A = this chain, B = another copy of it.
């Protein structure tokens, strides 16, 4: 399959995305158990906690506690998310990796719901964060467009609007003394289809051929894996995913909000198509089962139940030999 990338990087979003959306109270030790198990699978980036307002996201009130309990392995980014300057300062006081970056929400209404501020007010505040990164010598290489494929509140978003948001991210980075190398397109509201992936990435590539693209897809409407495959075909080499399909955005106004595409299913599909992930799919499957124990309910991941083809081929070979 010469038209697919040789290798992709999958960043794990399960703990952060998953814990924030579960109704059950999960003990700190269980959260840490899942994070530490994920660190044994080849993953290089694990989003662990969100430094957000505990009144808005009570399940993240233990962020500091979880962050300090993780026994970090070298070579892995155990990342913390933050949404405003206050959160960033909490994150920087903690032991976890903090990504410098610039974030622009596509839809103004989703921005107000998700982070409590309009797109332009959020940008004013982010200038403080960008200054903080500059002062601390932290790199700012990626811009993130939140909700880039459509909005449950505003409806369809034009490609023109998204290109403006990308331009805004690039400009604000330059203003702060940085140059972005890539744009992450996120879809917490689950609007992306293979066609819209191709359309939007095509438009961004046409305007900024040098920018790398990263995709953060949710499987809200069943199109996540097909959209991810469309991304692969467009040459995207960076994807977010969530172990066992954990997660869902609490502010996306979607009944039964659904998590990211499933880490082990996506890694399995990539490896079967000759796209290297650097991940151990068998171990990911073990960790997906741990994730089900930790949240106390079945999760939507498929290959953890269906089994890998490697396993099926081994059983077939054993049958043939017997």
Contact = CB atoms under 8 A, between A and B. Distances in A.
A265 B223 contact: yes
A315 B156 CA distance: 12
A198 to B, nearest CB: 8
B221 A306 contact: yes
A305 interface: yes
A23 interface: no
A258 interface: yes
Contacts of A300: 300
A89 interface: no
Nearest to A198: B1
A178 interface: no
Give the contact-size bracket for chain A.
35 or more
- The copy count of this chain in the complex is 2
B305 A258 contact: yes
A221 B156 contact: no
Interface stretch (A36-44, A49-57, A186-194): A186-194
A320 B309 CA distance: 49
Interface in A90-124: 109
A222 B313 contact: no
A306 B194 contact: no
Contact of A219 (B109, B230, B302): B302
Contacts of A313: 155-156
A254 interface: yes
B272 A222 contact: no
Given A195-B273, A272-B193, A273-B194, A153 B306 contact: no
Q: Pick the 7 closest A-B CB pairs, nearest first.
A: A222-B265, A222-B302, A256-B305, A155-B316, A220-B306, A195-B273, A226-B229
